[in-house]
Amino acid sequence: MYPIKLEKNEENVYYRDSDCFSDNRLHLTHAYQHDNYKTKMHSHQFYEINIISSGEGRHYISDVSLPTSVGDVFVLPPEVFHGYHTNSTLDISHIILRTDFITRYREELEAMPCFSTLFDIEPRLRRSGSHGCNLRISPKTMERVSNLFEDIVRAEQSGQYSYANALTLSLIGLICNLLKRDIEENVFPAETGDLLRVMSYVRDNLDRKLTLDSLAAMANMSISTLNRHFRKALNISPMQYVTHCRISKARELVSEGRMSKTEIACICGFYDVAHMNKYL
């Protein structure tokens, strides 16, 4: 019966921070187990981490569908339609990150290996139909992840929000390190692995001069091959992706209001504030 097409809800279901979190300013993460999960397409204001704890089914993101089973990890960014379907059993551990979570812990998160890959690059590739690029946790490590998840649930339920936040950071760090290992060990298909490495390099080096020549050399590809991979996966060129990342990063930092525009322009690789303002 697979695949089927999941339709967006007629109500266009959209969840906001206020639907999942209390007014306590430290309540930044919400963890819960959802057994026999089957849902129509929906979207939300926040990031969500889904870990398949039991069963199998299909994961839907935008217009793409792919099979899923125990150990699969999916990060769902804000404003992205997604859903699940199963003909049997599908149990999912959900960790929802309030919008403020990323802002509050940005320095710690961005210091983690492959954070941008996990939260931005992999979901982008998945939406484009590049299957086989999400992380799958081994049964041995799954026990460690499950124990940490249960600790987060207990901490939140007892009102220990700071502790729940710290545990969530630990879980994200663990997942990031697992993804880094898989990329280094070439677990993913060659073309997907190459794209992950190039895109991760771009996200981590926006302050540098990034050219087609330098990106192709870093990936050990010809310029034409690099262009072909990007066009196939994202329908944009490598340099268009560089520009997208710079604009996206600049908008995030401007909205947080912690840095001057001069600092932000430098960090994001723009010539100066005037150059950056043309894109914002």
- pLDDT (mean) for 81-97: 93
What are the DSSP calls for 194-250, one per residue? Answer: HHHHHHHHHHH-TTS---HHHHHHHHT--HHHHHHHHHHHHSS-HHHHHHHHHHHHH
pLDDT in the model for residue 4:
44
Residues 6+ apart with CB under 8 A from 127: 61, 62, 64, 80
Q: How many C-beta neighbours within 10 Å does residue 81 have?
A: 21
Q: Is the pLDDT of residue 195 over 50?
A: yes
Q: How far apart are CA 85 and CA 57, in angstroms?
A: 6
Q: Is the pLDDT of residue 116 over 60?
A: yes
User: By C-alpha distance, which of 100, 6, 11 is closest to 47?
Assistant: 100
pLDDT tens readout for residues 196-229: 888 888 988 999 999 999 998 888 889 999 998 8
pLDDT in the model for residue 187:
80
Q: Is the pLDDT of residue 6 over 70?
A: no
How much is the pTM?
Answer: 0.84
The β-bridge relationship of strands 82-85 and 39-44 is antiparallel
pLDDT band at 3 (very low <50, low <70, confident <90, very high): very low
**What burial class does residue 186 get, using C-beta atoms within 10 Å of its C-beta: 0-12 exposed, 13-18 middle, 19+ buried?**
exposed
Q: Which CATH architecture has domain 190-280?
A: Orthogonal Bundle (1.10)
pLDDT in the model for residue 92:
96
CATH code matching the domain that covers 1-188, chosen among 3.30.360.10, 1.10.10.10, 2.60.120.10, 3.40.50.300: 2.60.120.10
Domain residues of the chain, as ranges? 1-188, 190-280
